[in-house]
Amino acid sequence: MRRPVGPWTPAVHALLDHLEAAGFDAAPRAVGTDDDGREVVTYEAGDVVWPDHFHLLESDEALAEIAQLIRRYHDVAAAFVPPAEAQWWDLAADPTGAKELVCHNDLAPWNLVRGSDGNWTFIDWDLAAPGRRSWDLGWALLSFIPLTPDRPLCDDAIVRRLRVFMTAYGAAEALEAALACAVERGAHEAARIRAQAEESIVKLREEGHAEIWAGAAERVVANANRWVALSRR
């Protein structure tokens, strides 16, 4: 697969090289650049989960697999030492400046491929940048449970899926903190869509995505305490 490069491309490729060396097989491989200066990464064939294949994540087993995969990524990424000259795209980066690890920053169904062999692959790593684990987790909860108002689930289903996800990730006790970061992520994304003028962002704004993410943040604020209490029963 060939794509335009950015100032962040060398750092992202260094991250992908680290993942490959560590045996993490759920990410594309960085190949380099072609004669036209475009980045080259391996193409991951299969079904992108969103928007047409979200049913692939409806079972608790599939959701647990994704949570375990994210935990594997975080553990491998925690050992990554970025190049001294690394530059990162700050479009979705954790605004706190934390550097626990290099987050993917868009762990969501639209960046998840289910291969014909049944394996999962996360794609589109351009937004990777240092941040908190919870910054990635909050976004994953919003999109994989999901917690957005355009895809409402009943409380029982939400609590069950939150419990499955956080238990499989290995941090059931951190649900409250992850939901707090989900609020941050939703509000941050809504503000970003409302403020930026790029053509692709304008399209998201016109399609109502700012309201979706703001609504997700409001929904979590209104319900988080109850969800956490129910998850502990």
Tokens standing for residue 33 = 């650049």
Which of 89, 121, 135, 169 shows the shortest CA–CA distance to 24? 121
Contact 71, 166 (CB under 8 A): no
Residue 157 pLDDT greater than 90, yes or no? yes
89-98 pLDDT, tens per residue?
999 999 999 9
The domains of the chain are located at 45-231
Record the tokens describing residue 172, joined without a space: 């059931």
Burial category of 154 from C-beta neighbours within 10 Å (exposed 0-12, middle 13-18, buried 19 and up): exposed
Label residue 105 by pLDDT band (50, 70, 90).
very high
List b or e across 40-51, with b for residues whose CB sees 16 or more CB atoms inside 10 angstroms.
bbeebebebbbe
pLDDT at 81: 97
SS3 state at 130: strand
Q: Please provide the distance, in angstroms rounded to a whole number, between the alpha carbons at the two ends of the chain.
A: 47
Cα distance between residue 214 and residue 148, in whole Å: 9
Q: What percent of the chain has pLDDT over 70?
A: 100
Confidence band for 198, pLDDT divided at 50, 70 and 90: confident
Q: Please, what CATH class does the domain formed by 45-231 belong to?
A: alpha beta
pLDDT (0 to 100) of residue 53: 97
